[in-house]
Amino acid sequence: MNIAKPNSYRSGPDDRGHFGNFGGRFVAETLMPLILDLDKAYTEAKADPAFQAEMNGYLKNYVGRPSPLYFAERLTEHLGGAKIYLKREELNHTGSHKVNNVLGQIMLARRMGKKRIIAETGAGQHGVATATLCARFGLECVVYMGAVDVERQQPNVIRMEMLGAKVMPVQSGTRTLKDAMNEALRDWVTNVHNTFYCIGTVAGPHPYPTLVRDFQSIIGNETKAQMQEIEGRLPDSLVACIGGGSNAMGLFHPFLDDPSVEIFGVEAAGHGLTQLHAASIAGGRPGVLHGNRTYLLMDADGQIQDAHSISAGLDYPGIGPEHSWLHEVGRVNYLSATDDEALAAFQLLSKLEGIIPALEPAHAIAKVMELAPKRPRDHLMVVNLSGRGDKDVPQVGDILRGKK
Amino acid sequence: MTTRIDTRFAELAKQGRSAFVTFLMAGDPDPATSLEIIKALPKSGADVIEIGMPFTDPMADGPSIQAAGLRALKAGMTLKKTLELVRGFRKDDNATPIVLMGYYNPIYIYGVDKFLVDAKSAGVDGLIIVDLPPEEDNELCLPAMKAGLNFIRLATPTTDDKRLPAVLANTSGFVYYVSITGITGAAAADTTAVSEAVARIKRHTKLPVCVGFGIRTPETARAIASHANGAVVGTALVDALKNSLDAEGRATGKTVNAVAELTAALAQGVKGAQQAAE
């Protein structure tokens, strides 16, 4: 395919929410006025210094930012190539990058006078972050979670409930993240007047992919400044895992126009790309779901297929539309890691660095294990450690003891 | 250009009555039974037939219609087979309008241009695509109009006067007013609110306005039909179909009749409104 290279990779989307051929606003008419309201409210908030100042206050003192950029010395020695830095998003309050976006959206909801917050969640990290900020600001919180995920991410279900959120197990479809998103949309269409839908990733109808990206871009902006301070230059490569792709987009976006920086997104290859997996770019094609056009896993009739990943947070048959565009224009390289590779990386990082990663960023670490040894020792590689692995300890423990 | 939809509403206007619009899912519970059911609808009093195109992720539908779509998919239904179903229906009936209703992805994957040619030749008259608001008219709405198919838009309680002109701009055939904020099969519609909303839409358009979502009984159908040009019933018919199935979800000897009988009862309700309106 012949696709013209843009002058900048950071100017999108257009005013109708398109990144090239991707994105858009494919929603029911009932929701359309709400999405236009949100777009307007976000545009106003972005231009309001008070909004940014208030958010910065909470980012510093409540979330605990900036998150460290940590030189993973033993992992670097072990792999014997690139110098590996971990962007420590798992040290944020609530244990993942999700809180960056939720804080922004909750502050928007408050500006818009919405008192009831709904969210979908896969691994439960977005649900926990949403429940946390709803508790902090005294808002009603309802979290939709696939029944399969409720089962495999029990620690996060308990956390959400302790924080006062109502967790609704979703029994429809494949009972995972995509069905949770369907159910959240059904709730929103029903409770339009008082409800704000806090989407957890860079997907959904415009303006969600943009506003989530903007709130997550603090990851890349901090990384740029921190690397400048530590090494006096830009990193040479970035690596991040991708389900919907918000941690990746947050890290990547500030670097898209720095041509010397190689960028790698890692999708979940599940049991392998020829079997059940969740790698939309590697194994899917463009289609329309959940409000946007993007790469999706589907059959010949356009029916959405089941995704599979060991990681509930990556278990989604789509990907954010901006990633689809970055893939087509060739700016980002999309790779994939299997369940087994992620499990090996999970154990390696735990043992070498004393950091138990979530299964999601373990996929990114798995590709670092392949990429780093092939790079010279002065190559600076940043991997986004997007979440901590506490939630996965029971599941991984069972697998390692041969119970599952 | 005049479609079967335009012709049908013109006839009904002459008779001074409202349309009874039915919705069922293509291929539910299997392709053969589905064709029999669709064929039975006009005889039972359906004036316009909406046929759902099954989709795995129907974001605006409640549990009944979600389950109907999954039954159809399990029975091997595809968009191609949905068009064959329409073709089968048209062998015996060249007057009753057929509207396909569903979500965009299966059409996008089929190929928009090819779909429009095939749908037109199969005997489809109009399309209702839930996830294509006016903001995405270039995708399917404008090509469908060019191909001679009506693109029927949903207007909702959140579509205010400021937005209505945009929603109505490229709408043809009729306007489908969604009587509640919510999913199919949810709360019952409030007749007073519906009547006000229909009047509001009619200030902006000469097109017929049909009302759907929340109509389950002949009584509600009558009440709604006396304030609109048509009443749409979906979930109640899908539920009647489902209740006639065996434990494995397969059609029984009762299935076609179960749908036909409820259709007849609802049609009586709508015809009752004719007298009320006169």
pLDDT digits (tens, 9 = 90+) for A315-370: 899 999 999 999 999 999 999 999 999 999 999 999 999 999 999 999 999 999 99
> Cβ separation of B57 and A182 shorter than 8 Å?
yes
Mean pLDDT for A231-244 is 98
> Cβ separation of A28 and B182 shorter than 8 Å?
no
- Collect all residues of chain B within an 8 Å Cβ-Cβ radius of residue A185: 59-60
**Counting runs of H as helices and runs of E as strands, what totals does chain A give?**
16, 14
> Cβ separation of B159 and A33 shorter than 8 Å?
yes
Catalytic status, residue B36: no
Question: Do you know the residue count of chain B?
Answer: 278
> Cβ separation of B158 and A27 shorter than 8 Å?
no
Q: Which is nearest to A168 in space by CA: A155, A152, A187? A: A187
Secondary element (H or E) of residue B22 = strand B19-25
Strands (E), A231-372: 237-242, 262-270, 285-289, 291-296, 333-338
User: Which residues of A are catalytic, by number?
Assistant: 98, 120, 386
A62-68: long-range contacts (C-beta < 8 A, 24 or more apart)? A62/A93, A62/A103, A62/A136, A63/A92, A63/A93, A63/A99, A63/A100, A63/A103, A64/A91, A64/A92, A64/A93, A65/A92, A65/A100, A65/A218, A65/A222, A66/A222, A66/A226, A67/A91, A67/A92, A67/A219, A67/A222, A68/A226
Q: How confident is the model at residue B263 (pLDDT cuts 50, 70, 90)?
A: very high
**Strand A237-242 relative to strand A195-197: parallel, antiparallel, unpaired?**
unpaired
Exposed (0-12), middle (13-18) or buried (19+): which is B145, by Cβ within 10 Å? middle
The whole-angstrom separation of Cα A87 and Cα A219 is 8
- Collect all residues of chain B within an 8 Å Cβ-Cβ radius of residue A187: none
Report the mean per-residue pLDDT for chain A.
96
CA dihedral B42, B44, B48, B54 (to 10 degrees): -90
> Cβ separation of A30 and B178 shorter than 8 Å?
yes
Contacts for A155 with CB less than 8 Å, ≥ 6 apart:
A124, A390, A391, A393, A394
Can you give the pLDDT at residue B92?
A: 96
The interface pTM score, or ipTM, of the predicted complex is: 0.95
> Cβ separation of A173 and B56 shorter than 8 Å?
yes
Cβ-nearest to A25 among B78, B136, B182? B136
From B166, which residue of chain A is nearest by alpha-carbon distance? A29
The whole-angstrom separation of Cα A104 and Cα B233 is 42
From B187, which residue of chain A is nearest by alpha-carbon distance? A190
Using the predicted structure, report yes or no on whether residue B188 has a pLDDT greater than 80: no
Using the predicted structure, report yes or no on whether residue A404 has a pLDDT greater than 60: no
Q: How far is B164 from chain A (nearest CA, A)?
A: 11
Using the predicted structure, report yes or no on whether residue B277 has a pLDDT greater than 70: no
Tokens 């036909």, residue located: B260
Mean pLDDT for A106-120 is 97
The whole-angstrom separation of Cα A356 and Cα A346 is 7
From A305, which residue of chain B is nearest by alpha-carbon distance? B56
Using the predicted structure, report yes or no on whether residue A76 has a pLDDT greater than 50: yes
From A23, which residue of chain B is nearest by alpha-carbon distance? B136
- Collect all residues of chain B within an 8 Å Cβ-Cβ radius of residue A304: 56-57, 105
Q: How confident is the model at residue B274 (pLDDT cuts 50, 70, 90)?
A: low
Exposed (0-12), middle (13-18) or buried (19+): which is A232, by Cβ within 10 Å? exposed
Are A218 and A251 within 8 A, CB to CB? no
Using the predicted structure, report yes or no on whether residue A4 has a pLDDT greater than 70: no
The whole-angstrom separation of Cα B69 and Cα B58 is 8
Count of beta carbons in the 10 Å neighbourhood of residue A401: 8
Best probe of the A interface among B112, B115, B131, by most A CBs < 10 A, is B131
Using the predicted structure, report yes or no on whether residue B215 has a pLDDT greater than 80: yes
Using the predicted structure, report yes or no on whether residue A402 has a pLDDT greater than 90: no
> Cβ separation of A302 and B131 shorter than 8 Å?
no
Give the three-class secondary structure for A215: helix
Cβ-nearest to B104 among A185, A288, A300? A288
Can you give the pLDDT at residue A403?
A: 62
> Cβ separation of B104 and A26 shorter than 8 Å?
yes
Count of beta carbons in the 10 Å neighbourhood of residue A193: 11
Q: What is the DSSP letter of B207?
A: S
Q: How far is B206 from chain A (nearest CA, A)?
A: 20
Are A211 and A245 within 8 A, CB to CB? no
> Cβ separation of B133 and A25 shorter than 8 Å?
yes
Strands (E), A230-344: 237-242, 262-270, 285-289, 291-296, 333-338
- Collect all residues of chain B within an 8 Å Cβ-Cβ radius of residue A193: 181
Using the predicted structure, report yes or no on whether residue A2 has a pLDDT greater than 60: no
Among residues B28, B30, B47, B61, which one is catalytic? B61
Structure tokens at A18: 């398109």
> Cβ separation of B66 and A193 shorter than 8 Å?
no
Among residues B28, B30, B47, B50, which one is catalytic? B50
Are B64 and B185 within 8 A, CB to CB? yes
Using the predicted structure, report yes or no on whether residue A22 has a pLDDT greater than 60: yes
Best probe of the A interface among B25, B53, B57, B167, by most A CBs < 10 A, is B57
Structure tokens at A126: 């977005």
> Cβ separation of A189 and B160 shorter than 8 Å?
no
Cβ-nearest to B59 among A28, A32, A193? A28
Q: Which is nearest to A205 in space by CA: A386, A33, A55? A: A33
Catalytic status, residue B246: no
Work out how many CB contacts closer than 8 A connect A with B.
115
Omega prior to B106 cis, within 30 of 0: no
From A296, which residue of chain B is nearest by alpha-carbon distance? B105
Structure tokens at A223: 């990384």
Using the predicted structure, report yes or no on whether residue B16 has a pLDDT greater than 70: yes
From B154, which residue of chain A is nearest by alpha-carbon distance? A29
Using the predicted structure, report yes or no on whether residue B278 has a pLDDT greater than 50: no
